[in-house]
Amino acid sequence: MSRTIVITGASDGIGAAAARIQAGFGDELVLVGRSPEKTKAIAAELGADYFLADFTDLSQVKTLALALEQKYPRIDVLANNAGGVMGPHEVTVDGHEKTFQVNHLAPFLLTTALMDTLVASQARIINTSSAAHRLMAKFNIDDLDAEKRYSANAAYGNAKLANILFTKELQRRYGSLGINAAAFHPGIVGSNFASEAAGFIKFAYGLMSQSFMISPVQGADTLIWLANSEPGVDWTAGEYYSKRKVTRVTKAAADPTLAVQLWDRSAAMIAAFETNDAV
């Protein structure tokens, strides 16, 4: 039976590579991107449906969720792949630090807004994280928007750590209802995901030869494996993967209390947004 696969961040990099590979499985692809030109081009190439949404604007994410819910009564895989490294401290129209919102809060909103559909579909939810959670994070649950202290490196590491905490708490809350969630590290991919970066990350990417990076196709491998192999048989839900293997996370990323706190604070942020949006 053909499945419905939703991939965010599908206009470039590993999202686009994953879409191209997944198209070969005969599933119905739904691509989500920020760039109208790139997203439309890849959708046309693959004969896929597509939606546009800028994750720096939660109202666009909410509109996306409603559109997906209305058009697709079944979603078998939700790949929360959109994200990136940002530059200087920037606050979105919703009042949140940009890195945190794009990489965590927007996917949190999209996933929870679609939860009835995802549960009914016994869906897989795949979150693109990164080894940056180990190398760069300085996670402070009381400063999620980096108002007290900000660096582009730490903000990205914190967001990628949040992806893992979200995955683990998602599985704890909804695993018994048939949800299978996983996070993964794609590797150091030669793409433009750091195009908005500044400081060390931009410097490091500038120095690195493309020969030291893996291709977007290689970076998408674990995502494709998680989407097409069997949870409970080939992989364990709630875990963090690299190169198709469970990989150790930091103490903070494995902290169940911190996962609950992040979920609750993220939900409160979304509730505040929805209250303001309704006014």
- Known catalytic residues are 156
CA distance 48 to 107: 21
- For residue 189, give the DSSP letter: B
Residues 128, 163: Cα–Cα separation, whole Å: 7
Instruction: Give bridge partners of residue 52 from the DSSP assignment.
Output: 33
* 9 phi and psi angles, rounded to 5 deg: 65, 35
How far apart are the C-alpha atoms of 159 and 217, rounded to whole Å?
Answer: 23
In this structure, which long-range contacts are made by residues 142-147, counting pairs with CB atoms below 8 Å and at least 24 apart in sequence? 144/96, 144/97, 144/100, 144/262, 144/265, 145/91, 145/95, 145/96, 145/97, 145/100, 146/89, 146/97, 146/99, 146/100, 147/97
Cα distance between residue 45 and residue 41, in whole Å: 6
Cα separations (Å) of 124 from 56, 138, 182, 231? 25, 29, 8, 8
The phi and psi torsions of 144 (rounded to 5 degrees) equal: -65, -30
